[in-house]
Amino acid sequence: MTFTRRQTLAATTALPALTMGLSACGSSGEGDGKSLKVLQYEDPTSAQGKGWKRALELFQEKHPDVAVDFQQTSFDAVRQNAKITLAGNEVPDIIEFNKGNADGGQLAVQGLLTDLTDTVSARGWEAKVGESMRSFALYEEGMAGSGSWFGIPNIGEYVTLFYNQDLFEQHGISPDITDIDGLEAAMDTLLTAGVTPIASSAATSQGFNQMWIWYSLVSAIATRDEIDDFMFLNGPVDFSSSPWAEGTERFQAWIDRGYVGTDIAGLNFEQATVNFLSGKAAMVVWNHGVFHRAVAEADFKWGYMTFPGANLVMGSSGHLWGVPERAKNKELAYDWIEITLSEEVQNLIGELGGLPIAGDPAAITDDRTRDYTEGFIQLMDDNALSYYPDYPTIGFLDFIQEHMQAMSNGNETAQEYLAALQSYYDEGTQR
């Protein structure tokens, strides 16, 4: 299953920026319906960030007497401090949080998030959050996939190989690659010409690229049941067998051959993105964040493809809106969620390449953006998303990133990583 979208036109200028002032005053109040505190971490220049700017305008039109404190934080800050933040006296009325057992599941099971099940039913949100997007919105005893609603996604995500078509053409490479062997042959050609095939990163903080490459190689040869056993603890997982062993050994070979560059242990995903956008590498593995950046910043022809021949593709719903159990203005929080799911906001996110879960692809005017969105819809319809590897247990993201750095430094082999992975996973999931 490979989706390839070749772009034969040079990158155009950035999409028009949305301009507006954000109201930022007051705190969450005392439950008087006069204030709303929103804590979120999306880049305000991203498609989702721009969509939420419009949502804020619409919210203030509906609630002109409400003071909105729209706070910007970081993904790491929420992940590391959410429990403390949500257990305090001055909690936000609505918070964006990471999905999965390790993060959202823990917040839910500790009683820090409001059970949204009745609200979801009353407001008809089930129809907007389709079956394939709700797996990590539902939690039961801290485990994702079933139970009550504790979060609401706005967008979806899927991971692709973005490629510099100018570099491909310069070195005689066609983007119509059908399998991983063909991809490796293309990367060998690039290496011979002195071009880094894939821009990557392996810092233990925000160095996500290596983890995504590794898990994409595993997903490429995995079955639906194998991923669901790993993700939802449906059955035992043996990391010494395929797809884990084969995918990880291939990943080590990519490191050893230089496909992902050198000296990447200290790089983060932003540096990897810049290396691709500046033409220093032919490809980068990322989601819609790079799509949006390439539209605005790339001065070369570019395209994207899922991992060629892959059974499953890394991706899922986006991060979730949650309402803290101690929030003082929950009804306003519910109104905020509803506005972010509205047709106007969802279609704006879609027009900007943000993969809305409740938007209309036919409303997207740009052909390239519409194709990108339709590729994601096809993956949802085919149940072909493999989620993200850090979801099953507490601390998994930090664990995986530490070992990605060790493998990238040459300080750990595939077999050593798989043994450590088995031990950590079994202990964390009480297997």
Nearest to 59 by CA among 47, 48, 70: 70
Residue 331 domain-assigned? yes
What domain range is 91 assigned to? Answer: 35-157+317-365
Residue 339 domain-assigned? yes
Interatomic CA distance for residues 314 and 359, integer angstroms: 21
Residue 80 domain-assigned? yes
DSSP 352: T
Residue 379 domain-assigned? no
Structural domains in the chain (count): 2
212 shares a domain with 103? no
pTM: 0.85
Residue 400 domain-assigned? yes
* φ, ψ of residue 142 in degrees (nearest 5): 85, 0
Q: Could you list the pLDDT tens digit for every one of the 431 residues in the chain?
A: 544 433 333 333 333 333 333 333 333 345 788 999 999 999 998 899 999 999 999 999 999 999 999 999 999 999 899 999 999 989 999 999 999 998 999 999 999 999 999 999 999 999 999 888 999 999 999 999 999 999 999 999 999 999 999 999 999 999 999 999 999 999 999 999 999 999 999 999 999 999 999 999 999 999 999 999 999 999 999 999 999 999 999 999 999 999 999 999 999 999 999 999 999 999 999 998 899 899 999 999 999 999 999 999 999 999 999 999 999 999 999 999 999 999 999 999 999 989 999 999 999 999 999 999 999 999 999 999 999 999 999 999 999 999 999 999 999 999 999 999 999 999 999 97
260 shares a domain with 198? yes
Q: Are 339 and 62 in contact (CB under 8 A)?
A: yes
276 shares a domain with 133? no
> How many Cα atoms sit within 13 Å of 53 on the Cβ side?
17
Tokens representing 27 are 């705190």
Interatomic CA distance for residues 152 and 308, integer angstroms: 31
351 shares a domain with 207? no
Residue 385 domain-assigned? no
Interatomic CA distance for residues 46 and 352, integer angstroms: 8
pLDDT at 28: 38
Residue 384 domain-assigned? no
Tokens representing 418 are 């798989």
Q: What is the CATH number for 183?
A: 3.40.190.10
- At 226 the three-state DSSP class reads helix
Interatomic CA distance for residues 137 and 407, integer angstroms: 33
Residue 69: its H or E element = strand 67-72
Residue 214 domain-assigned? yes
Interatomic CA distance for residues 346 and 354, integer angstroms: 9
- State the distance between the two ends of the chain, measured CA to CA, in whole angstroms: 33
pLDDT at 30: 58
423 shares a domain with 401? yes
200 shares a domain with 258? yes
331 shares a domain with 291? no
Residues 6+ apart with CB under 8 A from 111: 325
419 shares a domain with 286? yes
- At 197 the three-state DSSP class reads strand
164 shares a domain with 137? no
415 shares a domain with 279? yes
193 shares a domain with 105? no
101 shares a domain with 64? yes
